[in-house]
Structure 1
Amino acid sequence: MTSAPGTYDAAAEAIAARLASGGAAARIAAASSLFARGDAIPHERRAVMDLACAYLRLHPGRDADGEPAFDADDESVRREILHQIRERFLASSGDRWDHQQIPLTLARTYLPDVDLSKVHIRSDRFLSGAWVAGDVELSHATIECGDAEHLATLDDDRPHFQLTGEEGDLHFEAERAAGSVSLFDQLRCHSIDGVGVTVRGGRVRVSGHIGAVRLPVLTATQGVSISGLVGCSFVGLLGSDLKGEVSIDLEPALSAVDISWSAVHGDVSIFGMALDHGAARVAIHLERLTVKALHLGGARVSTCDLAELEADQVTVRECDIDELRLDGALVDGGTIEYSRIGRLSVDDATLGPSWVRDDPPARVDWLGDESRETVIGLNIVGSTTEVPPQGLIDNDCVGTMGDLLLDGFPVPLRRDSGTARSGAK
């Protein structure tokens, strides 16, 4: 006799007991039997998924350094469970399980690596708090975030039970809804990789010990938040379509951020640690980005490439930038405040009349003795490439900067009265 929807019966517990003890072959067979049971009894599929994910949340043990470590048998079982999960949610599979009725929650699991490419799943916590020994591959996956209140109602009676196996008592418990969307918070893995990932109904939040975030051609309906990264060297969202705001907090290990060729239907905010002179400089690539407003603050940047940027507003505040490129940009207005710009290139740019200078204090201490070389505010008014701009530079700003390139004319910044003018061709 089968169990009621969402519950475990004696047969399911027997399978779970085999999954929790014995050698690798027996446990892999138990995992296969568990999912076969779900195939045969559709109303038990959610209970099967709960049990499989609960196994993945069991701590695998620790190595000599205190880090989680899998033995060979346990790793094989976890790989088999992940393989079985992927097979049930492949978008191309005619026999796949209904992702609307069976959410997938891998939160707080311990995994050797993850390949969920081309799946179609629903999840509000997905990999939050997971520990992954290898990489996370999500190419062409679709992740739908369910209604949190609806999930909480469904989860009220989700079961848990305790088994006694060869390794002692093992407690399996279904993951309960957190009440909010949190897909990759506090994840630990080598990298997140995925071309063409689609996330619907929830904001993509990424944090934790992640070596690199590579999600080109990402589609997200509620935007992206990347913060609290540790040891991350690269963040890439190249060619993405993001319907909400994008927020990225730079961390010392980052060498590059690339959101080029993307359309963001909201603001992009990139903030860093300008006061930390020990941090490496990051290269920020935002070429051909279409965005409502771009905010860059507190960053130590080698190259900030905004070529062919389309934006209503750009704000650069308290940044130390070796080279800032606005070549071919179409920007209505913006502000550069309290920042050092070593080299500024605005060839073929159209910059609207609302680029303004913030009245600076007499001295800015955050760059120490270099403050005299800091461009504090830059007043750019109505510049286009058809006519060599007159009055482009406001000489009331303190200090000097390197070359200003506008339509091929080097324009030195003078500290005397009057305005700097470009030379003739």
Structure 2
Amino acid sequence: MRSDQVFALIDCNSFYASCERVFRPDLAKTPIVVLSNNDGCVIARSYDAKPFVKMGEPYFQAKEKLRKHGVVVFSSNYALYGDMSERVMSLIEAMVPAAEVYSIDECFADLTGISGNLTEFGRRIRSRVLQCTGIPVGVGIAPTKTLAKLANHTAKRLLGQTGGVVDICDPFKRDWVLRNTEAKEVWGIGRKMTAHLEALGIHTAMDLAKADARTLRDKFSVVVEKTARELAGTPCLELEEAEPPKQEICCSRMFGRRLSELAPIKQAVATYVGRAAEKLRAQSSVCKRMRVSIRTGMFNPDELHHAQGALVELPYPTNDTLLLTRLATEAVGRIYRPGYRYSKAEVLLVDLRQPGEFSEDLFAARQSVSSDRLMHVLDEINGRWGRGTMRTGSAPLAPEWAMRRDMMSQSYTTRIDQLWTVR
């Protein structure tokens, strides 16, 4: 890796809440929180909502407090957030030489070779994204990815002074940020690691940058060593423009209500298999094994508890939704027990490979060409007309066990019947 490389981290501010505000300009100055699946707990807060509620706080406990302070509550609208994320990332990718989408609201960019003032370039990115999507972003610029993450954190922390963009390629600015940032704020340093580092007298990002990298590797791991080297200005992490195929694909959901009958549980599993198989085909993979599991709520002392899973060996490497659904629902029938109130099901696809990577003998069964064609048509139709347009008969469109989202906003950008209207 070249020592003259320059990275930027572009991170959306309070992304879920910002997406809701784009289509509700009347809430521009109103605190907002977004809830997890089944309206369970707070998973996102606008900046002005942070004084009133903690991240992860159960909604039923915070409900009255939120109402008292005028905080507007939304159920999670993943279709809206995913579409808005694609729009933001497309804009960024069009402005930089190379980009790595790190998460739904974060993107690393390679700014190496861009001439002129990089702070001004960062402001152009910020302005362009805000103008075209309504989503505010912060931009951190630095010689390494870890420092870029730290610069982004500083841009948000000192928004009034930085305008949302911080460039710490200059060693003097870099040292100021390192001295004024606690070690726990460094990318990849969790709570437990923070305690270990503090025991060694490492309290700030500067302390970590100056620590002996070999000692950190011997005492902790190569990850901590790389973090320290990156803070010191030595690039150790490349930009990953193409996301590597996942080694496992999981689809799990809490039911909107407890289920005691086998039929709706099978429907739920069939729905989750369809989603997992769609992800499998999207990365051009096939799988040889699948694990299906169901469980009751595990924390209510007044309920009977039961959790069980089954590992399914597939007859051949496949990404066929029909085959996977049939075998998964059969497995559910084997592990289901009457008399329990189930709260969650999970489908996990494992042993994933690219077609042709499995060692097979000449006469081994394999997925038919007709199945490949059918799955291709299935994905094309759903890609054009929306997920769930074509699905297996065992996966209902609007099931009674579906995730509870009583305060969900409209899908303004992904459903034609819910387009934003301006009066």
The reply to whether TM is greater than 0.5 is no
Q: Normalising to structure 1: TM-score of the pair?
A: 0.24
Structure that is richer in helix per residue: 2
Return the index of the structure with the highest Cα Rg: 1
Q: Normalising to structure 2: TM-score of the pair?
A: 0.24
The structure, 1 or 2, with the larger RCO (C-alpha pairs under 8 Å, 6+ apart) is 2
Structure that is richer in strand per residue: 1
